[in-house]
């Protein structure tokens, strides 16, 4: 999607380092929470789109509130990914993609998360969804797939994702973390769910330093990297800032 490798990082949902607007810098006190967030970080993983499809006008407003180099990642609506048997309406896929397309040049990645109840037994329906997403992806979003069931981690599934140029999300949920694969796609997607996988806690600096090394290598390979901290009941902001510092220092060397 990008002409050159870029590192995009943020939190899952809008998290700020201050309690309220009175604590914003003077230049942002009359602006939105997102505008202030966009002055600190260059990406966000929008979780609200998982629960409700946003209005097109809302997405346009969000895009207008952030700098040109900011990128939005949207989580696909749960009515598409989380129904029993992965039953969904193809028209919902088209509508969702049209709505998030209002982000324009600030489009980043689309996160497609499957629940633990969706297993390799649902493969046919899962591939149907990937086909529908691929067909509806006229804006060329980087599509990343997150599995929460270990039955998916097989060579034929990796080949399928590669065929669609979709990336397997590298996440750290203890019961369903994928292997650290080398993927022949132009981007990498990292999700940090908390050291114990419970959206809480804080990552040790040595862990973040290790991941900064991986990120630097991917960037040197020309890959775009999306990284989001979902331990928002813990130290997501602190961990994000620390990781960004490590990555920036690595690139400066």
Q: Any residues with CB less than 8 A from the CB of 116 and at least 6 apart, and which?
A: 148, 149, 175, 176
Does residue 74 form part of some domain?
A: yes
Does residue 124 form part of some domain?
A: yes
- Residue 4, pLDDT score: 66
CA distance 246 to 251: 9
H and E: helices and strands count for the chain: 9, 9
CA distance 140 to 133: 10
pTM (predicted TM-score): 0.96
Does residue 2 form part of some domain?
A: no
What range does the domain containing 141 cover? 7-251
- The SS3 of residue 70 is coil
* Nearest residue to 209 via CA among 241, 253, 247, 171: 247
Does residue 1 form part of some domain?
A: no
Q: Any residues with CB less than 8 A from the CB of 26 and at least 6 apart, and which?
A: none
Does residue 66 form part of some domain?
A: yes
pLDDT in tens, the chain (253 residues): 344 679 999 999 999 999 888 899 999 999 999 999 999 999 999 999 999 999 999 999 999 999 999 999 999 999 999 999 999 999 999 999 999 999 999 999 999 999 999 999 999 999 999 999 999 999 999 999 999 999 999 999 999 999 999 999 999 999 999 999 999 999 999 999 999 999 999 999 999 999 999 999 999 999 999 999 999 999 999 999 999 999 999 877 6
CA distance 204 to 113: 26
The CATH number linked to 157 is 3.20.20.410
Handedness of CA 12, 231, 195, 39 (dihedral sign): positive
Does residue 162 form part of some domain?
A: yes
- Residue 19, pLDDT score: 87
Q: Hey, which residues does 112 pair with through a beta bridge?
A: 145
Question: Environment class of residue 99 by beta-carbon count within 10 Å: exposed (0-12), middle (13-18) or buried (19+)?
Answer: buried
- The SS3 of residue 35 is helix
Number of independent structural domains in the chain: 1
Q: Any residues with CB less than 8 A from the CB of 180 and at least 6 apart, and which?
A: 170, 214
């Amino acid at each position: 999607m990008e002409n050159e490798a870029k590192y995009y990082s943020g939190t899952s949902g809008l998290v700020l380092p201050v309690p309220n607007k009175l604590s914003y810098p003077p230049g942002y006190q009359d602006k939105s929470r997102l505008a202030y967030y966009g002055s600190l970080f260059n990406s966000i993983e929008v979780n609200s789109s998982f629960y409700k499809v946003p209005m097109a006008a809302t997405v346009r407003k969000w895009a207008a509130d952030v700098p040109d180099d900011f990128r939005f990642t949207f989580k696909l609506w749960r009515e598409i990914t989380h129904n029993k048997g992965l039953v969904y309406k193809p028209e919902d896929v088209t509508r969702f993609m049209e709505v998030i397309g209002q982000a324009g040049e600030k489009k980043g990645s689309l996160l497609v998360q499957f629940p633990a109840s969706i297993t390799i037994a649902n493969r046919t329906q899962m591939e149907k969804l990937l086909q529908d997403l691929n067909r509806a992806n006229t804006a060329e979003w980087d599509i990343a797939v997150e599995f929460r069931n270990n039955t998916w981690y097989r060579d034929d599934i990796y080949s399928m994702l590669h065929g669609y140029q979709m990336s397997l999300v590298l996440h750290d949920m203890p019961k369903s973390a994928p292997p650290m694969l080398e993927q022949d796609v132009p981007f990498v997607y990292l999700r940090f769910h908390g050291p114990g996988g419970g959206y809480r806690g804080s990552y040790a600096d040595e862990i973040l330093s290790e991941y900064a090394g991986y990120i630097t290598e991917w960037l040197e390979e020309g890959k775009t990297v999306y990284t989001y901290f979902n331990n928002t009941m813990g130290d997501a902001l602190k961990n994000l800032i620390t990781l960004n510092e490590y990555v920036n220092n690595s690139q400066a060397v």
